[in-house]
């Protein structure tokens, strides 16, 4: 792909049972999954931060493959994703997000576990901050990260969404 090519940011709205989620993708892959019942403003803020110069295009067809896999997960019919992703973050965030992708369905890890996984055992707070910036809720399974004492801790999508996702995986 030509580096100078200006891509579009394709977006749509997933409305399935009690789930109402904005999603967005570039031609490279899914780049944003919003919070449950989140406002469109969440998507717009993401776009302004990571894609300020490209146009947003509402395109259900372009995003159908992503929407289908998310719905299958929400219905308990999918345990992992086979879709392309295009996450944008700092080098540290990308390392943390990739570590999150290694947490198996139905499993949880602590923030300390993730810090150990990336060989930064003293960076638990930084790991927490990177997890909080995860642009791909559900796909990058930060809902599987819990407090050291087993408690549910902060989640960009809210604790109700985290509980719902863990319930789908029979963890909570």
Angle 29-119-123 (CA atoms, 0-180°, nearest 5)?
A: 90
How remote is the C-alpha of 115 from its chain's centroid?
A: 19
Q: Across the chain, where does the E strand assignment appear?
A: 9-16, 19-25, 30-33, 56-58, 109-110, 145-146
- CA pair distance 89, 80, nearest whole angstrom: 22
- Burial pattern 102-121, b for ≥16 Cβ within 10 A else e, equals ebeeeebbbbebbbbbbebe
Q: Is 31 a catalytic residue?
A: no
Angle 101-88-13 (CA atoms, 0-180°, nearest 5)?
A: 80
Indicate which residue of 142, 145, 146, 161 is catalytic: 142
Residues 6+ apart with CB under 8 A from 5: none
Active site members = 142
């Amino acid at each position: 792909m030509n580096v100078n090519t200006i891509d579009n940011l394709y977006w749509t709205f997933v409305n399935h049972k009690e789930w109402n989620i904005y999603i967005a993708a570039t031609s490279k892959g899914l780049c944003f999954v919003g919070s449950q019942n989140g406002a469109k403003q969440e998507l717009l803020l993401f776009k302004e931060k990571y894609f300020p110069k490209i146009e947003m295009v509402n395109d259900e067809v372009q995003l159908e493959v992503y929407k289908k896999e998310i719905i299958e997960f929400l219905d308990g019919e999918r345990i992992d994703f086979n879709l392309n992703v295009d996450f944008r973050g700092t080098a540290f965030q990308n390392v943390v997000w990739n570590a999150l992708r290694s947490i198996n369905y139905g499993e949880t890890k602590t923030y300390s576990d993730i810090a150990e996984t990336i060989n930064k055992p003293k960076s638990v707070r930084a790991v927490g901050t990177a997890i909080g910036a995860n642009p791909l809720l559900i796909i990058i399974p930060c809902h599987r990260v819990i407090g050291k004492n087993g408690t549910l801790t902060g989640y960009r999508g809210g604790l109700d969404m985290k509980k719902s996702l863990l319930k789908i995986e029979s963890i909570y």
